[in-house]
Amino acid sequence: MAKEIIIATGFYDIPYKLNVPGEELPKVTHYYSDPHFYAFQKVIVVGAMNSAVDAALEIWRKGAEVTMVIRGSSIGERVKYWIKPDIENRIEEGAIKAYFNSSIMKITPETVEVITPEGIKIIDNDWVIAATGYQPNLKFLESAGIVLSDDEVRCPVLNPETHETSVKGIYLAGVICGGMNTHRLFIENSREHAEKIIRAIASR
């Protein structure tokens, strides 16, 4: 039996759903990987944060016809500062079409219905990439007995020096340490977790 366990499960486990008819169709995905797959096809990207913007730009650069459906009135403020002007300029020149203040109402095998400030648009469509964000699987941590904060962040309770949880011998590393606050930690500021954990284990 393992004496020590390190959990580093990130926060991409549970996508936020669109909750619209047709979301279960095989052309709809919450996980984007290879832009070449979408070349020369009609793709809708939902969302306006880093994942949506990266997907839209990469797929458009592989020759796809890309339409973004964005709930708010602009590209997300937290989009990387060197990427944001790229997407804004592609939208402004019309290379990538974007519907702001808009939401998907329905997805069919051939189309997507979008409610926009100008009314309902029916868009021909091959693929939908719903880059609508994710939540960490905190139930998994709780099922291991790990205590979470009782506020809305549900932050796992950790010893900040060792990253050991409330369960002796179980440590957390990476983004999962932030609970529902999934923007607080990223690659650069999580590397120290591994160092702390290994130091703690080695000193036992």
* Contact characters 47-86, ligand FAD, x per CB under 6 A: ---xx--x--------------------------------
- Single residue of 3, 24, 118, 187 touching ligand FAD by CB under 6 A: 187
Residue 34 tokens, joined: 């290879």
- Name the DSSP class of 88: H
Q: Please tell me what DSSP assigns to residue 148.
A: B
Select from 19-27, 68-76, 158-166, 170-178 the region that touches ligand FAD (CB under 6 A): 170-178
Separation CA 116–CA 76 (nearest Å) = 18
Which run of H or E residues covers position 198? helix 191-202
CB of 52 to ligand FAD, least distance (A): 9
Looking at 104-112, 148-156, 158-166, 181-189, which segment touches ligand FAD (CB under 6 A)?
181-189
Alpha-carbon distance of 178 to 142, in angstroms, equals 14
Neighbours of 60 (CB within 10 A): 21
Q: Which of 101, 186, 195, 199 binds ligand FAD (CB under 6 A)?
A: 186
Indicate whether 31 belongs to the interface with ligand FAD (CB under 6 A).
Answer: no
Give the largest Cα separation in the chain, rounded: 65
The residues binding ligand FAD (CB under 6 A) are 8-10, 12-13, 50-51, 54, 140, 174-176, 186-188, 190
